Amino acid sequence: MLTDLSLATVTELRAHYVAGILTPVEVVEAAIRRIEALNGTLNAICTPNFMEARHLAAEQVVQLSAGRPLPPLFGIPVTVKDLTDTAGLRTTFGSALYADRVPEADAIVVERLRAAGAILLGKTNTPEFGAGGNTTNAVFGATRNPWNTALTSGGSTGGGAVAVATGMGTLAEGTDLGGSLRTPAAFNGVVGFRTSPGVIPFWPGDDAFDTLWVSGLMGRSVADVALGTAALAGPDARAPQSLATGAVGDLVAALASPSMAGLRIAFSPDLGGLVPVAAAIREACAVAARRFEALGAVVEEASPDLDGLSEVIMATRSLAMVASHAERVAEHRARMNPNLVWSVERGAALTAGAMAKAGRLRSAIWHRMRSFMAHYDILLTPTASVLPFPVEQSFPTEVDGVQLADYTAWFHLTYAITVLGLPAMSVPCGFAPGRLPVGMQIVGGWRRDALVVAAAAAFEAATPDLRGQPPILAQFAA
């Protein structure tokens, strides 16, 4: 019998359901108890959904007794980010402008979670409209890091990362633009997967043809995230960029006895000087990268040529912010996050010539990266350039004494991979002083999502010593 139901994996829960050892009611109640014990301190869940969760769990007990085939996420407790629409359940975007908004329809990813049998426990906190790497807003306040509650949980899926890290849900749905799944995964010691764009259809959204925003999952293990992603993947006409099932390989098959023998792996501590990286993070990731050598891979320190990428990031991000928020900022500027306002105003000042140049630069960088990845199967980088910073601080302004250019610069390690459209997974890879978790980003080539899963699974299996549980869990009963 599992000793802590709240920390059980997808595979463990399914096996116990099939064997008749557990029921979804027991698992949901354990997760609710964990939320009630910890959420007052951590503020991860902003809108609970306990009544519906209990009702569905009771219905699933009947399904179990009937001996019917179980869908892939049957009885799995999940949380959904407060940016993602949930029919009948408040979705505020972390904005006071939408504090009482209740959508009429589910986002595609929520439709698929429900169809796969997942049980929605609640919505998780996010910065306003997901803009920023510190999860705090005027509606719900700040979400705190369970490894040190004086520090940020990261963002923008900070609430989801904390929920997963502490057993408030087995999986957390989130979105990723500049690193919103990967950065909070690193800050909270969990796994976050940004797939190739289109693996999980993204709808609703302001731009149906956008390739920068993706929906995705976080979990406590690579297998949980891969199994969940496979259950959500597949095309949908509402999302014209969505990919056919299997377009990025078989994510489930990639979990079975993954081999790294003979693979060529590049480790880049800072993507060729794209952004300064804290010494403690560089050291932890360098040590972790070398663990792949024991798995039979060839590891070299090498960086792609990303010259001009910061300009591309600023242009594409600013344009996206203008497209989504210009009208709101014009009307409600004083009530909105200053960082979001800054992004919109900077985007509004862009000229057509600047946007055209950014497009040319992006294409040139893509082809240089494509050539680089022809020599390597996997690229490893730190996920974040900084450790979790004080929760009251909007964003870090320097890294080890080096000043940063603006509020986005510190997460360019993840944003670079977004701009290039490559799959990437952040996995726990050790600890910095103060026992703060460090994340390593595993990046694959074009649509090589299955290889990313295989590499992450192999690394995870070989490095149990590089992970742990947040100390706050020791203060509360399961």
Active site residues per annotation = 81, 156, 180
132 CB contacts (<8 Å, ≥6 apart)?
A: 155, 156, 337, 339, 340, 394, 395, 407
Rounded-to-integer distance, Cα 410 and Cα 384, Å = 7
- Which residue from 73, 67, 97 is spatially nearest to 14, judged by alpha carbons? 73
Q: Which residues pair with 423 in a beta bridge?
A: none
Sorted by sequence, the CB contacts under 8 Å of residue 162 that are 6+ apart come out as: 42, 44, 124, 143, 144, 145, 146, 153, 168, 184, 188
How does DSSP classify residue 99? T
What distance lies between CA 412 and its chain's CA centroid?
A: 15
Cα separations in angstroms, 391 against 141, 188, 237, 265, 293: 10, 13, 40, 35, 37
Residue 118 one-letter amino acid? A
Burial class (CB in 10 A: 0-12, 13-18, 19+), 351: exposed
Per the CB < 8 A criterion, the answer to whether 226 and 254 are in contact is yes
SS3 sequence of 25-77: HHHHHHHHHHHHHHHHHHCCEEEECHHHHHHHHHHHHHHHHHCCCCCCCCCCE
Backbone dihedral angles phi then psi of residue 305, each to the nearest 5 degrees: -85, 105
Residues 6 or more apart in contact with residue 92 via CB below 8 angstroms: 46, 47, 82, 98, 99, 100, 101, 139, 140
Q: Is 210 left (phi over 0), alpha (psi -120 to 50) or beta?
A: beta
Mention every residue, 6+ apart, whose C-beta is less than 8 A from residue 363.
none
Task: List, in sequence order, every residue forming a beta bridge with 440; answer none if it has no partner.
Answer: 382, 427
Torsion-angle region of residue 407: left (phi > 0), alpha (psi -120 to 50) or beta? alpha
Strand, coil or helix: 300: strand
Which residue type sits at 222?
V
CB 389 within 8 A of CB 152: yes
Q: 């099932």: which residue's tokens? A: 245
Beta bridge partners of 239: 236
59's tokens: 């219905």
